[in-house]
Amino acid sequence: MSSRRSFIRQSAAFLGSFALHQQIGAAFPGISSREFQPSVHDAQGDDEEFWRQIRQAYAASPNMINLNNGGVSPTPRATMDALDYYNRMCSEAPSYYMWRILDQNREPLRENLAQLAGVSAEELAINRNATEALNTIVFGLPLKSGDEVVLSKYDYPNMMNAWKQREKRDGIKLVWVDLDLPSEDADYLANAYTSKFTSRTRLVHITHVINWNGQILPARAIADKAHAQGIEVLVDAAHSFALLDYKIPDLGADYWGTSLHKFLCGPYGSGLMWIKKEKIPNIWPLLSNDKPDGGDIRKFETLGTRSFPIEMAIGYSLDLHNLIGSRRKQERLHFLKNYWMEQVRDVKGIKLYTSLHPKWGCAIGVFGLEGQKAGDISSKLFEKHKIHTVPIEWEKINGVRVTPNVYTNKEDLDKLVRGIRGLAAG
């Protein structure tokens, strides 16, 4: 790049196109452009040579095995480089580069995210994470005392706390769903929610992929029954967007939020909120706006001074995701989850909290060992094998969550299997 201005112009074009495979050698070192033809697809998700090249796009540590990608995923090298470049640029003349230059590039990014999500760009707001997106909706809904909201004890704590705050402040009634997980029974899972509906129910809160054990819920089936009774639907997609191959309209939701620093591997502190176009005027923004009851989705982006470099760097992670392909990525991560789980299912005293069926589980897998606490298992895996996982002790789950990502290889998971077998025998 000969100048910052040329860099910015090319960045805007870069974010406005998905044809990065033509420049793949420069943007993602170690990956061959011939691997990224639209026709390339391995139904088994186990083309190791292809995925070894993908690994080179990440700065994955060779000294430890990171299997907590469900919490937050590492960013690709190209995203890291872009973030560093934009940060340095903004630091030289912040008000000029942030507000006169980079702020204009949010629109092509919005368009590209909308294309992946399968919705209009006029329905998407770019923010910092799923918590911010969903809290905006939770606190923006015009609910009153006595209105009922159906939600689960397996929802994310920040979301449950938001609803509890509305209960305490506004007198709404929370109706709790209890679940026995894992489950592969679509009717059971849907009925667990729909059986709670009453004439006072105004909204149902659905966690698409439950973070505690990776259970996929039948969001569309629940949403259809909710809409038949005039009930609105809010979907927490923090763990499903850029993991499962779907478009937002497939879920039948009215409101939806996600984090982009999980399976999209965007910069840390990046997220996305979607609201059906005709419902935007009904939601009050979490932060003030001059037209709080207006229909422009941008009313939810009046954050003030924020990290423009983080927003601009999202596009580079998005391009890598699109080069891999949503379907291929989902199948790979399901393959990796089953790869290690199938090898330990015969271990004495093991309990698997995640389904091996692709309809009910993907990427996230949780296991427990009889007589051992989840925290102890996770600590020993790191102390003895430098395998980073996360303990889950929540409701009926006492296990360790294992979440690979596209840079994870089978050798990493072979070490995990040996570690689990050693702990079970120990």
pTM for this one? 0.90
The backbone torsions φ and ψ at residue 397, rounded to the nearest 5 degrees and listed phi first, read: -105, 130
Whether 298 and 332 map to the same domain: the answer is no
Residue 400 maps to which CATH number?
3.90.1150.10
247 and 360: one domain? no
Q: What confidence tens digit (pLDDT) does each residue in 229-280 have?
A: 999 999 999 999 999 999 999 999 999 999 999 999 999 999 999 999 999 9
Amino acid at 270: S
Mean pLDDT of the chain: 91
**CATH assignment of the domain containing 289:** 3.40.640.10
User: Helices 308-324 and 106-117 meet at what angle, rounded to 10?
Assistant: 30
Structure tokens of 378?
A: 């996770």
What pLDDT is stored for residue 2 in this prediction? 45
Examine the domain organization and report whether 250 and 332 are in the same domain. Answer: no
Q: What is the pLDDT of residue 36?
A: 41
Beta bridge partners of 369: 350
Answer yes or no: is pLDDT of 31 > 50: no
Q: Cα dist. 87→59, 81, 84, 283, 320 in Å?
A: 19, 10, 5, 33, 21
Within a domain: 295: yes
pLDDT tens-digit readout, 65-113: 999 999 999 999 999 999 999 999 999 999 998 888 888 889 999 999 9
- Residue 9 has a pLDDT of 43
Question: Do 256 and 360 sit in the same domain of this protein?
Answer: no
Residue 33: inside a domain = no
* % of the chain exceeding 70 in pLDDT: 89
For residues 39-57, give the mean pLDDT.
74
Backbone angles phi, psi at 150, to 5 degrees: -95, 130
Q: What is the pLDDT of residue 167?
A: 98
Domain housing 354 = 328-425
Q: What domain count does the chain have?
A: 2
